[in-house]
Amino acid sequence: MISSSGSSFDLLCCLVVLLILPFSSLSSDPDSLQDFCVANLNSSTSVNGFPCKPNAEVTSHDFFFDGLSKEGNTTNVFGSKVTPGNVLSFPGLNTLGISMNRVDFAPGGLNPPHSHPRATESGIVIEGKLLVGFISTNNVYYSKVLSAGQMFVIPKGLVHFQLNVGEGKALTFTAFNSHLPGAAVVPLALFASTPAIPNGVLTKAFQVEDDVINAIKSKFGS
């Protein structure tokens, strides 16, 4: 015969397990098991990060990066430039679960609709005025015009954009909870992939004729 106190204890144990299990999946990148793991970018193998450079070869230089101090060249079709500060440009970030971007905007410049499959994004406007928006999986559009000093957050994996709606240049810095958040830029993914997505897929998806798809692809050199 099983006592009521024993049943209560078993139920309590089950509840504790159910509460603890999700916590391991809350962070975007796996937790580090050492103080640091400066990336060996020359390694041919990579599993959720790069192999560590031997500690004897690590220097102070590995933990500092000045790439975000330089203004990006916005002379392109979108009028914006993303300068990444991720593990590929800053190897000291390897396995630490963080990275940053600098995004410069010409007047009227757009950081086109895109998503980050591996990270939530937060950002702060440094200069200018930006319309920041994202779309939920229920197709609800959330947006606000932000000025210098104001912040935003984009939930992981959702399509979002920033548009310069001010009169001059604009600048924002963004941060991610992944050392390599990735970016799927919607117009490039759809109209400039290699190999190309068949026109029949795109004409049906957008309910337009073949010449419309070809015209859009031509804008991106496809």
* Residue positions forming the annotated binding site: 101, 111, 114, 116, 121, 160
Question: For the residues of 193-212, what is the DSSP string, one character each?
Answer: -SSPPPHHHHHHHHT--HHH
Which of 34, 27, 68 has its CA nearest to residue 54? 34
Q: Known binding site for Mn(2+): residues?
A: 114, 116, 121, 160
Q: Are 220 and 76 in contact (CB under 8 A)?
A: no
Structure tokens at 72: 């990006």
Q: Are 74 and 102 in contact (CB under 8 A)?
A: no
Which of 133, 112, 129 has its CA nearest to residue 168? 129
CA 90, chain centre distance (Å): 16
Q: Are 72 and 82 in contact (CB under 8 A)?
A: yes
Q: Known binding site for oxalate: residues?
A: 101, 111, 116, 121
How far apart, in whole angstroms, are the C-alpha atoms of residue 45 and residue 94?
14
How far apart, in whole angstroms, are the C-alpha atoms of residue 6 and residue 143?
53
